[in-house]
Chains A and B, each alone.
Chain A
Amino acid sequence: MHNFNYHRAADVADASGKLTSLEDPKILAGGMTLLPTLKNRLAAPSDLIDLAAIADLKGVSVEGDEVVVRAMTPHAVVAASAEVQKALPALAQLAGNIGDPAVRHRGTIGGSVANSDPAADYPAGCVGLDATIVTNKRKIAADDFFLGLFETALEEGEVITSVRFKIPTRAHYMKFRHPASGYAVVGVMVAQYGSKARVAVTGAGPCVFRLSEMEAALEKSFAPSSIANIKVSAEQLMGDIHCSAEYRAHLITVYARRAVEAMV
């Protein structure tokens, strides 16, 4: 790992200011992706701005019809939160299956969301649960936030402060876990909001995406049989050393169906 300058941000404004003024800075959240990336010299920022000392970026709460997770909250805290388990169990379950226990103690929601890793779980949680990504500058709907492979709508000097998940009528997240890394080979969040449905897929394409055909079918009838025969095209999906794009396409239908089965 190349060396860098280290800064402990006092508050979000301080972090944002440094992000704008320094040469080639990066925000350091839990570091579960960033530090391995630096070790491999896939990135060599001039400065790291650590958010860990900012107390009001930590914690979860239920506010009205939303579950609010502050940006520096580790996955283990979301998974173990009695409030989240009660209000939005699908989110607690998603967080509790990221990586391994030691990774969940450090990895944060803000870091995961800002990275937009194609195989990360939280992007499916955000899009499937109609979340709003709150930054120091604005509120961004999850649908407009994830733009592509490791690409988000975040602009210069913008720092994620919290993620607000809309509490659904019911929801379930199903993933085919890579047996070694724990990353999603395919992960599907299915959520029902009254007469509306959302189906968000991670792990399969270069970026999280929704399946409108499945959503429409579930809105007609929220049952496994509604989507069991909907085939997903492999055209835009990823094939790699782990499995082919065709296999991922197949898994999407299987895991979406299983998610609905778990709810009805």
Chain B
Amino acid sequence: MDIEVKMTVNGKAVSGKVEARTLLVQFIREHLRMTGTHVGCDTTQCGCCVVHVDGVAMKSCTMLAVQAEGKAITTIEGLAGPDGELHPMQQAFRDHHGLQCGFCTPGMVMMGVDIANRLPGADEKTVRHQLEGNICRCTGYQGIVEAIMDASAVMNAARS
């Protein structure tokens, strides 16, 4: 029996009919055809599928689409400005080369924004600790950590 779900994704109202067992990430990728959010491990460990649900980072592979009913979702596609201007976190990942193959990057960027929102001015140790639910097998994290700290400072300055 299909269930009607309604939510906001990147500021746009969306709806669809899903099975109860449909994961949020399946809804985003397969129903909405937004494939920026990745599925890496499908077991809540790698963080490639991180999106924001009501402004907070969550793993969309371990959440049902029906659990997102009425929520505001932000995916990697929703970060850049309408004219294509990169979000400070995306720009910093580019500047610091915080990626290699790019598979984990959507989740890393979304988690980076979440860290910067929750812990403005976090030191390197804190950022590394906060990244424990996001796995990158290419970079050794150096560029990722530098990017998050850099973008965090830019976002902080923009807020004040």
Contact = CB atoms under 8 A, between A and B. Distances in A.
A8 B3 CA distance: 12
A16 to B, nearest CB: 20
A39 B22 CA distance: 11
Given A100-B47, A101-B115, A106 B3 contact: no
A182 B134 CA distance: 13
Given A6-B20, A6-B64, A31-B64, A100 B43 contact: no
A4 B22 CA distance: 10
Contact of B62 (A3, A6, A32): A32
B56 A32 contact: no
Interface string A1-35: 11111101000000000000000000010011001
B133 A31 contact: no
Contact of A180 (B21, B45, B59, B111): B45
A240 B56 CA distance: 35
B71 to A, nearest CB: 10
B62 A31 contact: yes
Given A2-B21, A106-B62, A36 B114 contact: no
A219 interface: no
A164 B19 CA distance: 37
Contact of A35 (B64, B69, B130): B64
B66 A6 contact: yes
B19 A102 contact: no
B72 interface: no
B58 interface: yes
Interface residues of B, number: 30
B129 to A, nearest CB: 9
Nearest to B65: A6
Given A5-B1, A31-B64, A102 B111 contact: yes
B20 A5 contact: yes
Given A31-B63, A100-B133, A106 B47 contact: no
A217 interface: no
B19 A103 contact: no
B57 A105 contact: yes
A3 B44 contact: no
B85 interface: no
Contacts of A182: 132
Given A31-B67, A48-B20, A52-B67, A105 B56 contact: yes
Q: Which 8 A-B pairs have the closest CB atoms?
A: A100-B133, A6-B20, A102-B59, A3-B21, A1-B21, A105-B56, A100-B132, A102-B57
Interface of A: 1-6, 8, 28, 31-32, 35-36, 38-39, 48, 50, 52, 76, 99-103, 105-106, 180-182
Given A8-B69, A35-B62, A38-B21, 14 more contacts: A2-B21, A3-B21, A5-B20, A31-B67, A32-B44, A35-B44, A50-B66, A76-B56, A100-B47, A101-B57, A101-B130, A102-B47, A102-B111, A106-B59
22 contacts: A1-B21, A3-B20, A3-B21, A4-B20, A6-B64, A8-B66, A31-B62, A31-B64, A35-B64, A36-B62, A39-B43, A50-B67, A76-B56, A100-B132, A100-B133, A100-B134, A102-B50, A102-B59, A103-B59, A103-B133, A106-B58, A106-B59
